Amino acid sequence: MKIIRHLLLLIIVGIALSSCTGDSIELQPQTAISSDLIYTDPAFAEAYLNKVYSAIPHGFNRGWYMLDAATDDAENSYPWPASNTIFNPSNISPDNSPFNGLWFGAYKQIRRLNGFIANYDRLEGNEELVNRLKAEAHFLRGFYYTYLLRTFGGVPIIKNAQQLDDENLLVPRNTEEEVLNFIMEELDKAAQLFEIAEGAASTRGSWAAVKAMEGRILLYQEKYTESAAASKEVLDAQKYQLDLNYQNIFLDDNSPEVIFDVQFKDPDKGHWGNLFNTPKSEGPISGWGGTGPTQNLVDQYEMKATGKKPSEPGSGYDINNPYQGRDPRFYASILYDGAQWKGQTMRFRPGGAEGIATSGDFTRTGYGLKKFMQESRNHRDKSTQHWVFIRLAEVYLNYAEALIESNTDLNLATDAINEVRKRADMPLITEETQAQMRELVRHERRIELVFEEHRFWDIRRWGIAGDNDVLTIYKMKMDENGNLIGNGKEIWETRVWTPRDYLMPIPQDDMDKNKNLVQNPGYE
């Protein structure tokens, strides 16, 4: 009977929450539920937090493009998404920024969390369950602020549930340091509560997710010693392990490597990642084209036997067999001319069924996306693979980078990078100078975390987003027989960069409403 009661409660609260306005639980009369239930009954409280989890942006819901198509790793095949029309030509403005939705969405969820946190001491029932719900609220509030900080810089810190008649409703921006300190307060509070809470699935916050997020945001804010310490806590806890099958991480909801993710399930919860990333083809299996890995990225995949890039002397690269003998992660991430996919042989060469083109939805670069893709599923059906927010390999690489940038324990940084390379069955690296180690960890991040929305932020925090190597996008150059022409590549486009693009603009709508906000430089 208790299970049935909770199921009924979850159904009712799902209807009720859809009628909420702001943080106060003001419900339509036909679905009116006392706020006492939200703040006292754990079943209602969990459903309330579910709404906050479900609003976190992920890589499959950005509007028909992957964020890496706004980096040197990919080019979207169809021309109209924001990657092609806003990011790559540097046409970002306070009116059209694709991150305007993050600003509005994050503060909407923060309002919900502020109301919940102000009342959560009224929760009744099992103490470990109550502690988990409290911990999740602080984790989520910290999580949303990490997204705001990396995107906009300093933002308004709002800790209390605001009302329209509040005297201090128009809140000014806080500094980046103040926002970081608030994030750490939230995450530290969450960690303390998770230590005395019951466990939950990877789709909810956890102690490890908290510490991993601390390691990430501290790294982004150049607090290297503190970042290394946070990441080390996750690694020392040994609660997770690297998945022996790299491709499996993104297809298996139960991968032992995943720390925090969002999951999907037939028939009600899905996305369209398969459809908009399946290569356009004249053959029997044709999608929208979507994400086309660049030649820039392909050239970064080392030779498995030597651990050297194709351009390096002694790598063993054979231009007559350009896709043989590469890093195994290449075959798990990229479709190339001659690759087998869904029972078909991919022909990205000119004149091939999936042939490279300059118009329509065919690949612009000569490659297709394989990472994340559900090969056995009809690509025209809704997709159900999860999106991974945090996984163990990132923690290893965050740890390594933090050690390298602090120029301490380079041997431990080497070991951390090698843990990731061992799983990929790649030759191990040896300890080098700080500058050389910096290049090694940046390369490993690019390969290991490709298409997972890290590159967009990495090139910004490293200050290389405006470099010619990043802005000059190469495509594959091949004849109709599948032979590379010359060095196998040619320029597809040269993108535009403006220094203001390191940060996104505050939405103009909020600038107009709040006279206390100051716009980011270059967007005034």
- In this predicted model, what pLDDT tens digit does every residue of 222-268 receive, in sequence order? 999 999 999 999 999 999 999 999 999 999 999 999 999 999 999 98
**Per residue in 390-410, pLDDT tens?**
999 999 999 999 999 999 999
Q: What's the pLDDT band for 439 if we cut at 50, 70, 90?
A: very high
Instruction: Tell whether the model's pLDDT for residue 467 goes beyond 70.
Output: yes
Residues 6+ apart with CB under 8 A from 434: 404, 407, 410
Q: Is 154 helix (H, G, I), strand (E, B) or coil?
A: coil
Q: How confident is the model at residue 63 (pLDDT cuts 50, 70, 90)?
A: confident
pLDDT in tens, 203-224: 999 999 999 999 999 999 999 9
Structure pTM? 0.93
203-263+386-462 CATH: 1.25.40.390
Q: 17: pLDDT confidence band, cut at 50, 70 and 90? A: very low
Decide if 188 contacts 195 (C-beta within 8 A): no
**H or E element that contains 277:** helix 273-277
Give the chain's largest Cα–Cα span: 74
d(CA 191, CA 208) in angstroms, rounded, equals 8
For 476, phi and psi rounded to 5 degrees?
Answer: -70, 140
Quick one: residue 366, left, alpha or beta (phi over 0 = left, psi -120 to 50 = alpha)? left
* DSSP H or E segment with residue 320: none
CATH code for 33-62+93-193? 1.25.40.390
**What one-character-per-residue DSSP string does 8-19 give?**
HHHHHHHHHHTT
Cβ within 8 Å of residue 433, ≥6 positions away: none
Question: Which residue, chain included where needed, has tokens 């099958």?
Answer: 245
Q: Residue 519's pLDDT is what?
A: 98
Q: How far apart are CA 393 and CA 355, in angstroms?
A: 34
Residue recorded with tokens 């509560």? 193
Domain boundaries, the chain: 33-62+93-193, 203-263+386-462
Query: What's the pLDDT band for 166 if we cut at 50, 70, 90?
Result: confident
345-373 residue pLDDT tens? 999 999 999 999 999 999 999 999 999 99
In this prediction, residue 169 has a pLDDT band, given cuts at 50, 70 and 90, of: confident
Residue 144 CA, distance from chain mean position: 13
